[in-house]
Amino acid sequence: MAPPPLLGDAEGKYRIHIVGNSGTGKSTIGERLANLLGVPFIPLDTLFWKPGWEQSTTEELQANVAAALANAPNGWVVDGNFSNRVGPMLEAVSTDVIWLDPPLALYLPRLIWRTVLRLLRLAPPCQSGCNERLTEVLFSKDSIIWWCLSRHWILRRREGERMQKIGVNVGTDVDGRRMRRLGGWGGELRRWFADVEKMVRSK
């Protein structure tokens, strides 16, 4: 029998970590999922970045994440990577890991459009006080567009290795299988979310 679209724990609670490159739709699907399940949505960007693009230390981020999870005892949806800082911490407590892995040709234009909207102040920044600036977008090594391009294959390799270990139906860690890869041009993600909606309605 096929596993359910979300595994959850023995008490029927869902602790979901959504990973993927910038622009792949983590926040969009994360908010929808959190609203559907009635649990808090926790974007890691808001716990890491301080106004003016000041970064939290690893210790600060870990403390912020621990506090946010403690305030959501009935489940949560976390969106974001920061794998070297909080990856193991989140994997240890997640019931489900969802890896969004669409083609670069699909999500790079979306990222560019989102960046344009943020430059024009027509879309909210990733964190209050962290507004995009044209010089940084076009000419900086910290450009979100350059970050997206440079991280695409790195992230695919890293998360692919994690799938081999904890992927649902495929992972070598049989007891730890809880990760799904949703790729393609959007159809797989839509079908999966529809299955989640059916599951929630049936309860």
Domains belonging to the chain, first-starting first, are 14-201 (3.40.50.300)
Task: Look at strands 41-43 and 75-79 and give their pairing.
Answer: parallel
Dihedral of CA atoms 169, 172, 174, 175 in degrees, nearest 10, equals: -130
Give, in order, the Cα–Cα distances in Å from 59 to each of 40, 56, 86, 91. 23, 8, 10, 17
Q: CA 145, 91, 44 angle in degrees (round to 5)?
A: 40
pTM of the model: 0.95
**DSSP H or E segment with residue 14:** strand 14-19
- pLDDT per residue, tens digit, the chain (203 aa), is 789 999 999 999 999 999 999 999 999 999 999 999 999 999 999 999 999 999 999 999 999 999 999 999 999 999 999 999 999 999 999 999 999 999 999 999 999 999 999 999 999 999 999 999 888 888 787 899 999 999 999 999 999 999 999 999 999 999 999 999 999 999 999 999 999 999 999 98
